[in-house]
Structure 1
Amino acid sequence: MRAAAHRTTALLLALVWAVPTAPGPAAAAGQPAGPVAETAGVRVAAARAAAHGVRFGPCAEQEDLPAPVECGTVEVPLDYAHPDDRRLTLTVSRLPALGTDAAGERVAHQGPLVFHPGGGAGSRYFPLVGELPTWRHIAGAYDLVGYAPRGTDRSALLSCQEPRHFVKAPTPSPARPSTSYKKERAAEAASYARGCARRAGDALAHHTTANGARDLDVLRAALGEERLTFMGVGSATYLGAVYATLFPARVRRMVLDSALDPRPERIGYPQHLDRAAAVERRWTDFLAWVARHDDAYGLGGSTASVRRSYEEVRAAVAVEPAGDRVGPGQLHRAFLRAVAYDDHWPLLAAALDAFHEGHPELLVAQAAPVPDAAAEEENAYAVRTATACNDAPWPTDFAVWDADHTAAAEAAPFGTWEEAWAVLPCAYWPAPRQEPPVVGADAEVLAPTLVLAAERDAIAPYRGARELHAGLGGSRLVTERGAGQHGLGGGPNDCVGAHLDAYLLDGTLPTADAECAAHPEPRPLALRTTTRGPAPAHRAGPR
């Protein structure tokens, strides 16, 4: 299903997020500037959107969304300090509430549930989850609403380089990069940042989380709602938290799933560094699972031996890329899925096993770039990068990056440097840097919210959920212990699902913070039908 593909894209981009204060043209003309003008601009844009509404109808063919999903548009200002100047058109998708629950009983309509998956990706495909059993109760009561955030799709699409260059393959991925390799990657990052400025112009500075929150309020008005019901995952939990800070009285219900740490001092570079250890811990979880299923995969009966099996494949594709398209860079990119989604574990392990048996086809299918998806992936990365770089100050001296990541890689070699390259354009960013806002709202104004978190989440380390929960008065935290799935809502944990349903359908939160046991681990997928023979020539040595 396309929604599943977009979940993977969002993950890969998520491994890489404010209120603008620089005076604009209005200040020169003696008009209000900064937050005052932007607040007024939101009121203007929201009133305009409420008057026009969203005229839903059949989705255009390029949307690839079949009936009964409907599509429409809503306009938002590029710059909320000047709401009557340039406007952006956001595509909106909707599956109207089904009207009955999973048992066929009639249920009351509760309005729209707006969803954002984080990671720079849009959520136009979100309404398709109404077909899934885990979403059926919610789809009965709510219109499932997705949208293309500013900079994505037809919403003034942001692109910083030719997409075909974005998915070039094969590429290296040294665990201990040389000085010359670091210089090469730094030059590429600087070039990418310049490309963003050249292609986007003055619009680049308006890709911020605060503007995303303002867009969300305009969408709320266009949908005809006095208050917003919203669910955000990963980086979109920060979007939701900023919305709750700017518009606390406009929140009806809000689910913040796999929450990031919203404290101003952690936004940007510190948050990025926090992930290194979390990614390594979750990578080790995957290796240990494969080792427990050595009878299915034959990759080794210990974490260390499975790690060697992976490194052998990495060394082999560095010498001879699999299918001429999968080098170490593509291999690493594919196996990042294991860090966030354990339902990918069986197939990824099977791909390693098959490669060791001399059959690279499954690995190629898992890891090779898809040219047809290049434009969409580059766009999502551009939006993700622009928002992250605009939202907070980042170090501008590569020596700082080099020292910090060299130290981090000693304890966390799997993902540290690849994550560094992903966000390195922020070191050379040409747009003004913003100071992150203090996020939080009082329980007397903000409706109670639900925060979901997995204890071993690598994309959103667990401490972030605790900090977000502490800042939102009246919120409740539901923790899945001993698990690391990123994005819990609608997933395999029945306990988490029950809390989600109770909150969205009845407004019921647990009386205190709650814990759920980990969902069952995936079952192994064994494609090999014979015992392993002698090691192929590309094998680096014994396990």
Structure 2
Amino acid sequence: MRAAALYSAAGSLLLAGLATPPAGGTPGARAGSAASPTSAASTTSPASAESRGVAVAAARAKAAGIRFGACPAEQEAPDGMRCGTVSVPLDYAHPDGKHLTLAVSRMPATHRDPRNSKRRVPRQGALVYNPGGPGASGLAFPVIGVVPEWKRIAAAYDLVGYAPRGVAPSAPLSCVKPEQFYKAPSPAPVHPSAAYKRERIARAKAYARGCAQRSGKGLRFFNSLNNARDLDVLRAALGEPRLTFMGASYGTYLGALYATLFPAHVRRMVLDSAVNPAPAKVWYRANLDQSAAFERRWTDFRAWVARHDDVYGLGGTAAAVQRAYDAASAKLAASPAGGTVGPGQLQNTFLMAGYYDDYWPSRAEALSAYLKGDAKPLVRLAAPSPETAKEAENGSAVYSAVECNDAPWPADFAVWDRDNTRLARVAPFETWDNVWANLPCAYWPVPRQRPLDVRTSRGATPPVLILAAERDAAAPYAGALEMARRLAGSTLVTERGAGTHGVGLGPNRCVNAHVDAYLLEGRLPGGRAACAPRPEPRPAEPAGRGTTGDRRDALRGKG
């Protein structure tokens, strides 16, 4: 997934997996020989050094607990939210070695039933949330309890968020100086030239070197397996015998890893916008499938704009809207809007419409205004924000470290060039920008792992609730089907015909009823369940505002 877009002026950070194998062979195997990957089997078996290290760290965390107190002033925490820390080993094979301090936030259960003010709701424990990424912070998550759709959950559970390892303030990683992270305006060639590809290869190599130089020898330990181990230490520190967890996007992969590694420690688990956990998809092939899925969602957006041509005047067909977009991109290449918004910033901004359809009106309005001579709406949405450069650079560094460390990647750019040139012929919108975001993994300077074979057996772990939107671009639906196959006894709830990334406890009452029944009562629908899609956005609605936008911003920890 394209990290740059995740930190655009509008955006939140989410990763996802995708599903079609790359054309022509298995480049992952080729990358493995160059990267000397560690076998997952050798590091995750019950008797492994890492497993013993987790047991040691969890026992210490349980004894120490978490001292919750006032949150740091920069978090601007609401009344009632408390913050603390938990210590985890950098390397679980050496639990007595260097430790990292993870930041944790908590809002205690309210015990107030929103449907009956006289009824006191019993506490069910802590609900830990991971917003995805990798590279997103969940520290703002407990604020979500004030949103109406979340009040029943907030009555029964302490809402717990945390910043995963590497995500500020939890031992933050860095790959470049933050002031150099944003380079605007930037190009976004749909069919890049050979010279442009050479330039991007050089930049990817420099970025990978910078990650090693600025993050030190411990860089290899920032990976998904250690993220799952950290989650078990956090569970113990919270005093929870078993974990109740909700993960979104990449957070669903983290949850699936946790269920595989610690099946007896699972209480309930909601995996929202599930990614494809198949080892062959982590992460090179996942990104190919994601680029294909974004093309479908981009078509959905253009069709919606065309249906509202009377409002936006961008054309009455999806093809006409594409021509309007292309005209704006060419115009920005010749003269960046506000001196900062070029074709790259335009593409970043419209990519967010592929994640969230409540962003559709603002994007369409900005494009329409720009082509009519008013650049201000587009600049407001798309201009890089120097104030957030440090946070953005940190998130990008964590994203790269985790994805690159997790699995082999093709070490030969010819493989990337072949696969993505073919894909760009049918899916030009996102393909090459996705390549540039992930290309540092081709030149990653530390050993890679082989992905764990995510799988649970029936009865070994409680049933898991999986949520998915049928037209999700960031987490294509095939991944949710694969997740359901691999987690025995799980139930998949599908939002039919919808494409917003993030399904649970939003505007869809049908989906919410399933989440509430599961988290509050442990009930799951029999077999697979389907819900009708949420309504399409109306042109008059400002995107990213109101209940849905507020909910998402709190979940992602991004403003």
TM-score w.r.t. length of structure 2: 0.89
* Equivalent residue number for residue 59 of structure 1: 71
Shift of the 474–89 alpha-carbon distance from structure 1 to 2, 3 Å rule, reads same
* Equivalent residue number for residue 539 of structure 1: none
Shift of the 35–359 alpha-carbon distance from structure 1 to 2, 3 Å rule, reads farther
Q: Is 1:350–1:526's contact at 8 Å kept on the other side of the alignment?
A: no
Alignment partners' CA distance in 2, 1:147 and 1:6: 22
Letter in 1 for 2:336: P
Q: CA deviation at 1:474?
A: 1.0
Confirm whether residue 335 of structure 1 aligns to residue 350 of structure 2.
yes
**Matched length:** 516
Task: Look up the SS of the partner of 1:143 in the other structure.
Answer: strand
Q: Is 2:457–2:488's contact at 8 Å kept on the other side of the alignment?
A: yes
* Equivalent residue number for residue 242 of structure 2: 227
Letter in 1 for 2:321: V
Shift of the 174–406 alpha-carbon distance from structure 1 to 2, 3 Å rule, reads same
Q: Give the one of 125, 143, 153 matched to 1:111.
A: 125
Alignment partners' CA distance in 2, 1:15 and 1:471: 15
Confirm whether residue 99 of structure 1 aligns to residue 118 of structure 2.
no
Task: Look up the SS of the partner of 2:281 in the other structure.
Answer: coil
Q: Give the one of 478, 486, 492 matched to 2:501.
A: 486
Q: Deviations over 1:71-126 (max 9, x none)?
A: 00000000000001100000000111111122223211111100011111110011
Shift of the 6–219 alpha-carbon distance from structure 1 to 2, 3 Å rule, reads farther
Q: Is 2:17–2:289's contact at 8 Å kept on the other side of the alignment?
A: no
Q: Deviations over 1:257-298 (max 9, x none)?
A: 111111111111111111121000000000000111111111
Q: Which deviates the most, 63-72 or 498-507?
A: 63-72
Alignment partners' CA distance in 2, 1:282 and 1:50: 45
Confirm whether residue 198 of structure 1 aligns to residue 210 of structure 2.
no
Q: Give the one of 336, 339, 350 matched to 1:324.
A: 339
Alignment partners' CA distance in 1, 2:541 and 2:443: 46
Alignment partners' CA distance in 2, 1:272 and 1:417: 11
Shift of the 159–367 alpha-carbon distance from structure 1 to 2, 3 Å rule, reads same
* Equivalent residue number for residue 489 of structure 2: 474
Q: CA deviation at 1:154?
A: 2.2
Q: Give the one of 86, 90, 102 matched to 1:78.
A: 90
Q: Is 1:350–1:525's contact at 8 Å kept on the other side of the alignment?
A: no
Q: Give the one of 60, 72, 90 matched to 2:102.
A: 90
* Equivalent residue number for residue 152 of structure 2: 137
* Equivalent residue number for residue 551 of structure 2: none
Q: CA-atom RMSD, angstroms? A: 2.2
Q: CA deviation at 1:21?
A: 7.3
Shift of the 34–486 alpha-carbon distance from structure 1 to 2, 3 Å rule, reads same
Letter in 2 for 1:379: N
Alignment partners' CA distance in 2, 1:290 and 1:407: 28
Q: Deviations over 1:370-398 (max 9, x none)?
A: 11111111111111111101111000111
Alignment partners' CA distance in 1, 2:295 and 2:7: 24
* Equivalent residue number for residue 264 of structure 1: 279
Q: Give the one of 55, 60, 70 matched to 1:48.
A: 60
* Equivalent residue number for residue 514 of structure 1: 529
Q: Is 1:70–1:93's contact at 8 Å kept on the other side of the alignment?
A: yes
Alignment partners' CA distance in 2, 1:142 and 1:9: 28
Q: Which protein has greater RCO, CA pairs closer than 8 Å, 6+ apart? A: 2
Alignment partners' CA distance in 1, 2:313 and 2:274: 36
Confirm whether residue 421 of structure 1 aligns to residue 433 of structure 2.
no
Aligned-residue sequence identity (percent) comes to 58
Task: Look up the SS of the partner of 1:335 in the other structure.
Answer: helix
Q: Which runs of 4+ in 1 moved over 6 A?
A: 4-7, 15-18, 32-35
Q: Deviations over 1:28-77 (max 9, x none)?
A: xxxx9997110000011001100110111110102221221110000000
Letter in 1 for 2:318: T
Q: Is 1:261–1:464's contact at 8 Å kept on the other side of the alignment?
A: yes
Task: Look up the SS of the partner of 2:280 in the other structure.
Answer: coil
Alignment partners' CA distance in 2, 1:367 and 1:135: 31
Alignment partners' CA distance in 2, 1:443 and 1:6: 42
Alignment partners' CA distance in 2, 1:297 and 1:455: 27
* Equivalent residue number for residue 324 of structure 2: 309
Q: Is 1:122–1:147's contact at 8 Å kept on the other side of the alignment?
A: yes
Alignment partners' CA distance in 1, 2:507 and 2:199: 42
Task: Look up the SS of the partner of 1:57 in the other structure.
Answer: coil
Q: Is 2:38–2:448's contact at 8 Å kept on the other side of the alignment?
A: no
Alignment partners' CA distance in 1, 2:38 and 2:492: 36
Q: Is 1:7–1:117's contact at 8 Å kept on the other side of the alignment?
A: no
Shift of the 7–340 alpha-carbon distance from structure 1 to 2, 3 Å rule, reads farther
Q: Is 1:347–1:525's contact at 8 Å kept on the other side of the alignment?
A: no
* Equivalent residue number for residue 532 of structure 1: none
* Equivalent residue number for residue 22 of structure 2: none
TM-score w.r.t. length of structure 1: 0.92
Q: Is 2:405–2:446's contact at 8 Å kept on the other side of the alignment?
A: yes
* Equivalent residue number for residue 499 of structure 1: 514
